[in-house]
Structure 1
Amino acid sequence: MNECLIDTDILTFYMRGDEIVRSHVERYLFVGNFDQLTISEISYYEIRAGLEYKKAKKQIQLFEDFAQNCKVVKLSKRSLDISAVRYRKLRKKGIEIGTPDLLIAGIAIDNGLTLVTNNLTHYETIEGLTLANWRKKLKPRPAKKGEAQTDHR
């Protein structure tokens, strides 16, 4: 299992207690042997800005506590360059994607991370980006020879 970068939409579903997303997170952390979730500083900003706008002090504190346990990946010159090249290629094809999403994609590509999003059609036009959707229900893991079938949700 590849290390994943959690997009803003999936992060929002997780924080709202979405059962399907939570089951994917559990599988990622326990079966994938990762000790924390990885988010971009762009997603951090998007969530924090939305909560600030709502003046949701309790949710801001919950988010801050949550983010303390996450790996927050920052923009680098290389990820900015990757984003700029993808922007040019998409614009030539007449495809426009918002700057925050291009920056998140650039961070994922630069760091070799799978971007976990519910917005696959939006991101699938970006060359070199590996995607996953944790809003889809988990399929049972096939049993190994001699092992009982389990659901792993």
Structure 2
Amino acid sequence: MRRDARALARASHYLSDHPRLTFSIITRYEILRGLRASGASGKLRTFEQFCSTCEVLPLTDEVVVCASGIYADLHQKGQLIGDADILIAATAVQARGTMVTNNHTHFGRIGGLTLDNWLV
């Protein structure tokens, strides 16, 4: 969310109806690797504190099976995206959740995935 006022307002609204934010363990990995690679120790601590208030969804066999179907579908269409993004999308599909992203063009190719953009 990078402290965008619109995203923060949408998160606040979401939290008025839900106990916590939820995201994929793959998302956690992507953020952690970026923070560690850049040596951002202060941001790393802040992110770890943030994670302690969230639900981090695990990578399960059901998610992997769903992801393989997404991969096959995108491969057939010639519209592949990265494996990490496929796993994140499959996590949202399996959780019957809404994936919040600013990249609807990228993730909109995935059938059964509900998207929202908190930056608009």
Q: Indicate the TM-score class for this superposition, using the shorter chain for normalisation.
A: over 0.9
Q: Distance in 2 between matches of 1:101 and 1:88?
A: 14
CA RMSD of aligned residues (A): 0.7
- Deviation above 4 Å: which 4+ runs of structure 1? none
Partner of 1:121: 105
Tell me the alpha carbon deviations over residues 86-142 of structure 1, each in whole angstroms, 9 at most, x when there is no partner.
101111111110001100011111110111110001001101111111111xxxxxx
Determine the C-alpha separation between the residues in 2 that align with 1:29 and 1:132.
Answer: 15
For 1:53, the equivalent position in structure 2 comes to: 37
CA distance in 2, matches of 1:18, 1:26: 12
Unaligned runs of 5+ in 2: none
How high is the TM-score relative to the length of structure 2? 0.97
2:20 to 32, 36, 54: 36
Identity %, equivalent residues: 38
Which residue of the other structure, out of 62, 78, 82, is the alignment partner of 1:98? 82
Paired with 1:68 and 1:97, the residues of 2 have a C-alpha distance of 30
Scaled by the length of structure 1, what TM-score is found?
Answer: 0.77
Q: Mind listing any 5+ residue stretches in structure 1 that lack a counterpart?
A: 1-12, 137-153
The structure whose residues are more often helix, as a share, is 2
Paired residues in the alignment total 120
Q: 17, 35, 54: which is aligned to 1:70?
A: 54
Q: Larger relative contact order (C-alpha < 8 A, sep ≥ 6)?
A: 1
